[in-house]
Structure 1
Amino acid sequence: MRTGSEPVTARSPLRMRLWLSLWGVAWTLFGVVAFSLADRPGWAAACGVLLAVTAADFAVILHRMHQGSRFQPGRDVPPFEPDHGDGRTRRPWTKTP
């Protein structure tokens, strides 16, 4: 749903986030292997935690990309209404003064 305030040609940063998360997965995996071979279990564990975080980020990005560009929230999520110029936003579930 368009609110009217975003540009028509706006693009999603998901592809950039996908490549950055892949880069993070590669480096953290390298860190886990390198620190394990160097007998540094603390650093290997730290890289393992970062690997889990970057892998979860990668999964979320893939999920969002598979939702498609026309994904809209369900009926229980009210639409965002832009600022009407007086500095306040009017929400459809509240009464107008």
Structure 2
Amino acid sequence: MNIRKKFSGQFIMISLFLMFLSFSMITGIIFQIIKIKEYKAEMTTLKKQLQTTKQEISKLEDGIGSKEDLEYTVRQRLNMVRPDEIIYIDIGKGPNKK
């Protein structure tokens, strides 16, 4: 009888420890599953954002054309001159003369 009381105390301690261990493992797994779902949702939103950004970039690249065309257009509109360029003005072609 004395041996039975001794083992019942150990049995209770071991069973409590195993229940605590299983509870902590189950809660850890549940939290990991929740985090995985959150990360998957975040990945889908980032993929959509990346796709829209790529579409915007392609639209902008199509609108710009080549770099030389853009540079020529900007220089003509703003009357910009490079430092090493020489500008010749034809006096015979003025706004008043046709």
Q: What is the TM-score when the length of structure 2 is the normalising length?
A: 0.33
Q: What is the TM-score when the length of structure 1 is the normalising length?
A: 0.33
**Which structure has more RCO (C-alpha within 8 Å, separation ≥ 6)?**
1
- Please say which structure displays the higher CA radius of gyration: 2
Structure whose residues are more often helix by fraction:
2
